[in-house]
Amino acid sequence: MLAKDYNNSMKKFEQLRHAMIAFEKGNSKHIQHFLKVYEFAHIICSEDQVDPLTTQIVESAALVHDIGINTCLEKYQSSAGHLQEKEGPSLAIQMMEEIGYDPEFIYRVAYLVGHHHSYDEIDGLDYQILIEADFLVNMYEEAYSQEQIESVYQKIFRTKTGKYLCETMYL
């Protein structure tokens, strides 16, 4: 990637991170959640040597993946996965359009936001890594049992570094 392109995409990423922190003002739990999911996604992409575009998509999706939760709680008094998948994409699209992301990039990130609870529809490495990073955080935040962790590890984890992180922290 050219230095100019890299600087531009970093600037957009920083704006997105800033916008998400502002969006979750007062909700430290949500802010800490998406920052941790982002960091694990970043580690997986970096150590598995994932290509730059996929890495950018995963890292951006990690920041915005739970953007629909607040709307779901207001509208349905529930943050069930399928409701988040319904409400999240349009909010992510709006935020990323305001920052000036490419439509194609926004489309894929919104798709991931709209599918991040659909574990049987994984159709790409970006999707795979987002799901793994989210589980790495949720296992801790939601205090999964050892049995649950082992089951998710077997059924979901595929990347070398995602597996390594899961084993190192929980198994």
Q: Can you give the binding site for Fe ion, defined by CB under 5 A? A: 66, 134
Q: For residues 104 and 142, which CB has a smaller minimum distance to Fe ion in the complex? A: 142
Q: For residues 34 and 101, which CB has a smaller minimum distance to Fe ion in the complex? A: 34
Question: Hey, is 84 helix, strand or coil?
Answer: helix
CB neighbour class for 146 (10 Å; exposed up to 12, middle 13-18, buried from 19)? exposed
* Tally of CB atoms within 10 A around 91: 17
Q: CB 72 → Fe ion: shortest distance, Å?
A: 13
Q: Which two tokens stand for residue 17?
A: 């991170």
Q: For residues 132 and 134, which CB has a smaller minimum distance to Fe ion in the complex? A: 134
Q: CB 7 → Fe ion: shortest distance, Å?
A: 29
Q: CB 135 → Fe ion: shortest distance, Å?
A: 9
Q: CB 37 → Fe ion: shortest distance, Å?
A: 6
Q: For residues 24 and 66, which CB has a smaller minimum distance to Fe ion in the complex? A: 66
Q: CB 84 → Fe ion: shortest distance, Å?
A: 9
Q: For residues 125 and 131, which CB has a smaller minimum distance to Fe ion in the complex? A: 131
**C-alpha to C-alpha distance for 170 and 68, rounded to whole angstroms:** 28
Dihedral class, residue 143 (left if φ above 0, else alpha if ψ from -120 to 50, else beta) = left
* Tally of CB atoms within 10 A around 80: 11
Nearest residue to Fe ion, scored by beta-carbon proximity: 134
Contact 130, 41 (CB under 8 A): yes
**C-alpha to C-alpha distance for 93 and 91, rounded to whole angstroms:** 5
